[in-house]
Amino acid sequence: MPKLIPASTLPAHPPLIREGTITLAEFVRRRERVLTELKGSSAVIFAGDQSAHLSGKWRPDLHFLYLTGIETEPGAAVLFDPSHPSPKRRIVLFLRPLNPESDRWEGYRDEISTELRASTGFATVMRTTMLPAAIAGAARRTKRLSCLHPLSTHTADVGPDLAIFRKVCERTPGTAIEDRSMLLPAHRACKSVQELVLMKRAAAATTAGYRAVLAMLRPGTGEQHVQRTIETAYIGAGAEGTAYSSIVGCGINATILHYDANSGACRAGELLLIDSGAKFAGYACDVTRTFPVDGRFTPEQRAIYEVVLKAQLAAMRAARPGKFMWEVDTAARDVIEAAGYGDHFPHGTGHQLGLHVHDADPETKLEPGMVITIEPGIYIAAKNLGIRIEDDLLITRTGNTNLTAAIPKTVAEIERAMSKRA
């Protein structure tokens, strides 16, 4: 009969929370703020289940990640139970039960212990087998359950918390379901000092990537070669990879908004559009630049490029506390429409940025601490010409700061940088 392997001899499990990024104290403060703002209602955030094997690295629901920093526990959940008589049971982390068979494939996991509670910042950690009873108890005491996950359209599945709360209400008469789905987007939109440090690191790595492209781009270069160059530079600058799938399109390909084949060639006389950004410790950068393949813009390319740049600068001036994103969009759109290219600007001017490239949006006025993108563009397929310029702005008390300003953007800056190619 085979002997059981003592737990003490198993390989050490990596820490659940990534070290050297957001501090444990900040995660605790985030959860306490949610508990307070629920005003007596109960809520639960789910990490999400494991994706299919070999389909890529699993990433938790970003609300869960924002509140816990835990990236390696599919099936986990956090329950907010403000009415629980024990203060230690008002915010509880639930983890899947240990399974020695699956752990051999996916990695060894820790037992619940004083050390595990201390390392995650939760006074109470339980197994998910206890979650149904815990939710039922919270519902009986509060008679109020709040949805924190995003709400969906009628054509999509309902959120995981709403799906469960409906069943709970059938079994606990008098329980009400409340919509608090904009609470966490509001929290996530305003970045802390620690988050901004990470986003600036992502911006620095992204800058290194674009400068690497400027040093190598010339006629005959493949789009895929450009992609490899920029993404390799991200890693070399300390990033963990890309924040999203890079778009590298030359000529007609630059007019395809979500082009991702990146399989064409960079031809003389055409423009190359690159929409790519690095990710550092989970935080995204999102930048677009448009470069002339042979180092100089033609007169027509330059004229249209200057319209896009003028539109971007107008939107950047409009991006300040108290403004809505629709006002920022209008500032850019007015410039492009006045130049006669309104029909060639089919997308919005920007979005929130953070743990996701299109980050949680509170749909409120801009506030200090928010990070947004500004990305107007003009796309004319008949001319094989697509131009987009995108930067990442931190909203400040007096206006904004461009986090990606170090990446060449004006015609003069781009042509000067490309003139130095070996």
Token representation of residue 402: 């461009």
Asked whether this chain's domains 7-181 and 190-418 adopt the same fold, the reply is no
- CB contact at 8 A, 400 and 319: yes
How do strand 371-374 and strand 385-388 relate by DSSP bridges?
unpaired
CB within 8 A of 156, min separation 6: which ones? none
List the one residue out of 208, 247, 206, 241 whose CA is nearest residue 224.
247
Q: How would you label 112-136 residue by residue, b for 16+ Cβ within 10 Å and e otherwise?
A: eeeebeeebbbbbbbebeebeebbe
Please report, for the chain, the start and end positions of each structural domain, with discontinuous segments joined by +.
7-181, 190-418
How many CB atoms are located within 10 Å of the residue 4 CB?
A: 7
Portion of the chain with pLDDT greater than 70, in percent: 95
Q: Which residue do the tokens 């600007």 mark?
A: 345
pLDDT at res. 55: 61
Q: Average pLDDT, stretch 217-242?
A: 98
Domain range 7-181, CATH class:
alpha beta
Render pLDDT for 79-102 as a digit per residue (tens, 0 to 9). 999 999 999 999 999 999 999 888
Render pLDDT for 270-281 as a digit per residue (tens, 0 to 9). 999 999 999 999
Calculate the alpha carbon distances from 138 to 18, 131, 182, 282 in Å: 31, 10, 22, 32
Token representation of residue 148: 């924190």
CA 94 to chain centre: 24
Query: Residue 13 — pLDDT band, cuts 50, 70, 90?
Result: low
In whole angstroms, give the CA distance from residue 232 to residue 223: 14
- SS3 string, the chain, reads CCCCCCHHHCCCCCCCECCCCCCHHHHHHHHHHHHHHCCCCEEEEECCCCCCCCCCCCCCCHHHHHHHCECCCCCCEEEECCCCCCHHHCEEEEECCCCHHHHHHHCCCCCCCHHHHHHHCCCEEEEHHHHHHHHHHHHHHHCEEEECCCCCCCCCCCCHHHHHHHHHHHHCCCCEEEECCCHHHHHHHECCHHHHHHHHHHHHHHHHHHHHHHHHCCCCCEHHHHHHHHHHHHHHCCCCEECCCCEEEEHHHHHCCCCCCCCCECCCCCEEEEEECEEECCEECCEEEEEECCCCCCHHHHHHHHHHHHHHHHHHHHCCCCCCHHHHHHHHHHHHHHCCCHHHCCCCCCCECCCCCCCCCCCCCCCCCEEEEECCEEEEHHHCEEEECEEEEEECCCCEEECCCCCCCCHHHHHHHHCCCC
How do strand 371-374 and strand 391-395 relate by DSSP bridges?
antiparallel
Render pLDDT for 390-417 as a digit per residue (tens, 0 to 9). 999 999 999 999 999 999 999 999 999 9
Q: CATH for 190-418? A: 3.90.230.10
Query: Residue 10 — pLDDT band, cuts 50, 70, 90?
Result: very low
Q: What is the mean pLDDT of the chain?
A: 94
In whole angstroms, give the CA distance from residue 85 to residue 271: 65
Query: Residue 4 — pLDDT band, cuts 50, 70, 90?
Result: very low
- Lowest average pLDDT, out of 14-23, 140-149, 296-305, 402-411, goes to 14-23
User: pLDDT at residue 51 above 70?
Assistant: no
Query: Residue 108 — pLDDT band, cuts 50, 70, 90?
Result: confident
Token representation of residue 182: 């904009």
Portion of the chain with pLDDT greater than 90, in percent: 90
How many CB atoms are located within 10 Å of the residue 243 CB?
A: 25
Query: Residue 103 — pLDDT band, cuts 50, 70, 90?
Result: confident
Render pLDDT for 205-228 as a digit per residue (tens, 0 to 9). 999 999 999 999 999 999 999 999
Q: Residue 405: phi, psi to the nearest 5?
A: -65, -20
Query: Residue 12 — pLDDT band, cuts 50, 70, 90?
Result: low
What are 128-131's contacts with CB under 8 Å, separation 24+? 128/75, 128/76, 128/77, 128/94, 128/95, 128/96, 128/97, 129/97, 130/94, 131/44, 131/77, 131/79, 131/94
Query: Residue 175 — pLDDT band, cuts 50, 70, 90?
Result: very high
CB within 8 A of 261, min separation 6: which ones? 223, 253
- CB contact at 8 A, 42 and 177: no
Token representation of residue 126: 């339980």
Query: Residue 28 — pLDDT band, cuts 50, 70, 90?
Result: very high
Render pLDDT for 326-345 as a digit per residue (tens, 0 to 9). 999 999 999 999 999 999 99
pLDDT at res. 310: 98
